[in-house]
Structure 1
Amino acid sequence: MSMNRPVATVLAAALCLLTAACGASSSDDKASATTTEVAASKTGYPVALENCGQKTTFKRAPSRVVLMNGASVAEVSTLLALGLQDRIVANQQSYGMSEVAGRAAAIKALPTGNVKLNDAYDIPREAMLGLRPDLVLSLTSYGFDQKNGFATREQLKQVGADSYVSPQGCDDNLSKMTVADSYRLLRDMGKIFNVRDKAEKLIAESAKNIAAVSEKVRGEKRPNVMVLFSNMSMGSNDFSSVVAKGIGNDILAKAGGANAFESASRTTFADLSKEKVAATDVDALVVIGYNDPHPAAYARKLLKEFPQWPAAKNTTYVTLSDSMYLGPSNDLAVEQIAKMLHPDAF
């Protein structure tokens, strides 16, 4: 799959925290200063958030939510996990698969608003305004950029719609994203929709699961892992969808691994030649399926193409999708990767 605008800026794909909910609350507040709660009454409203330098006050729970594409499933998965699917009037996010049973089907069943998308595969300004949203969610500030034909946050405000950019998305650069940002997204949506308790429960469960896995692999040698999207081109070289920075590295670290290509780029994705890839020792593969029904076939093809890799000699790979990205299910990715890398620990 080829996209002019990197799934990288879109990516999927937050997060850091090995403690339970209380510990998570204090550390992720430091990690994500772009979105901060200002005030909330005992009834839950009004809720005031500062998001990418803009202060927004929610007087009630939004009921007409639109989710921009952005090659993201973070926002739609978060709303589904919080049981808020009935608030969505138009969703453009889909990976076509999920580690969570039933999630892909639930996303597919959501209304799309019957919108004709623009060249950026997203909702153009006039179509957006015609949907009459009261809240628009975007992974990054790109989704509100006027020069790309989108409605700006100011234009949305003029028609009574609030807007929200997910953690680390203010500058359209997701290279610093960690698992803590997934928790921040959950927590902010919990505040906006007055489902705080449910959000905190999900955060606590995820943090507990990740901590348990990390404890099992503590002290183990960290294999070098290649993380990339299957059958996707985002640059000029043979391997342009290789993850270098971002939430994937945090997930790998918690699973007892290390990114073999972390130093290959300062941005989220590295655009690598076949020679560079061949010259790197890869102990294991994590292949992310983005609307690709056969990521395992792609993984096996790579292992056959680079038989010198330790990963090829041991057939060490795992295929994942939304759990590797910003969203409510990072603990699933941590567990599956850890079991691949350190099977004797489980």
Structure 2
Amino acid sequence: MRPKLIPAATAAALTLTLAACGSGPQTEETAAADTGYPLTVANCGEEVTIEAAPEAVLTIGHSAVALLDAAGATDRIVARSGEFSAPLPEGLQNPPDDVEVVDPADPAAETIIGTGADIVVGYGLFTAAPEALEAAGIPNLVVAGECNHDGAVVEAIGFDSVFADIERYGEVFGTQEAAAASVEDFQAELSELEAQAAAETQTVASVYYWSASSTMSAHGGLSMAHDVLGRANLENVYAAEQSAYFEASVETLLDADPQVIVLSYGGYGESFEDAKAQLLAEPGAADLQAVRNDRIIGVGATDLNPDQGALRGLETVIAGAAA
């Protein structure tokens, strides 16, 4: 989870346009075209051109690591950042545990360039100026599910955009077979989980805290969490919010009074007990029916990210809603 207002890309903008191969004698230009490069990728409504096959990746955030793992490309990661001291997601096939975290938060341009990375994959740039990376010839690919943080830049994201993102990275890094196999497995797992969802619809709010001193935030109708809730047959009371993440006052939660509360935790290293205590300390929280009925479902922050880890989030939500 990255509760800042972060730009990113979406499934609708994941079409990869490969340079066409010319006919006639083989030249350096036609040989390059045969490799699929330059490769133009639609990135949050804009185009990013990758001149040659990337070999050294700096990741920003957990989803970049998870998606590259699913695409079979974690061996290209030379540096990590933006993980805010939270552990890597569970279930990675080839976790880059031995790769240095050069900045726990948003890396500066000098830091990125200093790693020797030839591409950045992550939730977007906040400290680094995009112009500095462009001047250094370093493309910036944004995770598909990070486009709608502060408003509807593109259509809502969900599992379909996650699967498309895995295939996109497979195309970019030349690991199409590994990416396709991962997507097939994840789609089968998603179908099995959806079949376990409760038949009766319940209302729900998905909330979290960015720090021990921050106000409550929630997942809106353009978030990965919204798709998770819907597939669990839960009705998101914040569905009308045309953003992925937003600051939600406790008053709005009290007004909606959902039957279930999904409480995301671990975004800054806190436990579920810590996050729950912070929620229960909110004025009027004891009056919420979800609190009175002990219907608070804890879900790890990385399990509501726009990557395959959301399958674990869906499993947790389905089980919690049925308990």
Place the TM-score, normalised by the shorter chain, in its bin: 0.7 to 0.9
What is the alpha-carbon distance in structure 2 between the residues aligned to residue 301 and residue 90 of structure 1?
A: 34
Match of 1:200 among 150, 160, 180: 180
Tell me by how many angstroms 1:252 deviates: 0.5
Q: Secondary structure at the match of 1:285?
A: strand
Aligned partner of 1:291 in structure 2 is: 268
Contact 1:47 1:192 in 2 (8 A): no
Distance 1:10 1:127, change over 3 A: same
Q: In structure 2, do the counterparts of structure 1 residues 196 and 173 end up closer, same or farther at CA, with 3 Å as the change threshold?
A: farther
Return the letter of the residue paired with 2:171.
K
CA shift, 1:338, in A, is 0.9
1:67 counterpart SS class: strand
CA distance in 2, matches of 1:67, 1:126: 15
- 2:26: which partner in 1? none
Query: How far apart in 1 are the matches of 2:109 and 2:322?
Result: 49
Correspondence 1:238-257 to 2 at 5 A: 238-239=215-216, 241-245=217-221, 246-257=223-234
Deviations 1:131-150 (A, max 9, x none): 3321112323xx1xxxx652
Q: Which among 113, 124, 136 is matched to residue 129 of structure 1?
A: 113
Q: What are the Cα deviations for residues 183-206 of structure 1, in whole angstroms up to 9, with x where unaligned?
A: 122111111111111111221222
Amino acid at match of 2:100: P
Partner of 2:16: 37
Worse-matched range after superposition: 187-196 or 177-186: 177-186
For 2:90, the equivalent position in structure 1 comes to 100
- Structure 1 residue 67 corresponds to structure 2 residue 64: no
Amino acid across the alignment from 1:54: E
Residue 156 of structure 1 deviates from its aligned partner by: 3.0
**Alignment partner, residue 49 of structure 2:** 56
CA contact (8 A) 1:231 1:292 kept: no
**1:83-122 deviation digits (Å, cap 9, x = unpaired):** 433322221032614662478x946542134x6x8xxx42
CA RMSD of aligned residues (A): 3.4
Moved more, 171-180 or 221-230: 171-180
C-alpha deviation, 1:276, in angstroms: 2.9
Alignment of 1:315-330 (within 5 A): 315-316=294-295, 317-330=297-310
Is 1:164 the equivalent of 2:141?
yes
SS of structure 1 residue aligned to 2:18: strand
Deviations 1:280-324 (A, max 9, x none): 322222222202231234225535763333322332222222121
Superimposed CA distance per residue, residues 39-81 of structure 1 (whole angstroms, 9 cap, x where no aligned partner): 2789864362322322424532x2211123xxx3111122233
Greater RCO structure (CA 8 Å; 6+ sep): 1
Alpha carbons of structure 1 residues 166 and 282: separation in structure 2 relative to 1, 3 Å: same
Give the % identical residues.
16
Structure 2 alignment gaps of length 5 or more:
22-32
Q: Secondary structure at the match of 1:89?
A: strand
> Retained in 2: the 8 A contact 1:303–1:315?
no
Query: TM-score by structure 2 length?
Result: 0.78
Instruction: Name 2:193's counterpart in structure 1.
Output: 213
User: What letter corresponds to residue 321 of structure 2 in structure 1?
Assistant: L
* Cα distance change, pair 172–149 in 1 and its aligned pair in 2 (3 A): same
Task: Please report how far the alpha carbon of residue 253 of structure 1 lies from its aligned counterpart in structure 2 after TM superposition.
Answer: 0.5
What residue in structure 2 maps to residue 91 of structure 1? 80
How many Å separate the matches in 2 of 1:172 and 1:266?
A: 9
The equivalent of 1:111 in structure 2 is 100
Distance in 1 between residues matched to 2:134 and 2:248, nearest whole Å: 42
Task: Confirm or deny: 8 A CA contact 2:208 2:263 kept in the other structure.
Answer: yes
Cα-to-partner distance string for 1:151-207 (whole Å, 9 max, x where unaligned): 42x543443433312225457647522222211221111111111111112212222
Q: Which residue of 2 aligns with 1:337?
A: 317
Structure 1 window deviating more from structure 2 (334-343 vs 290-299): it is 290-299
Structure 1 CA distance, aligned partners of 2:269 and 2:127?
A: 28
For 2:5, give the aligned amino acid.
T
Matched, 1:273 2:249: yes
CA separation in 1, counterparts of 2:121 and 2:236? 30
Answer whether contact 1:138 1:166 (CA < 8 A) is retained.
Answer: yes
Q: Which amino acid aligns with 1:49?
A: T
Alignment partner, residue 150 of structure 1: 128
Distance in 2 (CA, whole Å) between partners of 1:110 and 1:159 is: 22
Provide the rounded CA distance (Å) in 1 between the counterparts of 2:299 and 2:146.
26
After TM superposition, the runs of 4+ consecutive aligned structure 1 residues lying more than 4 A away are 40-44, 105-108, 168-175
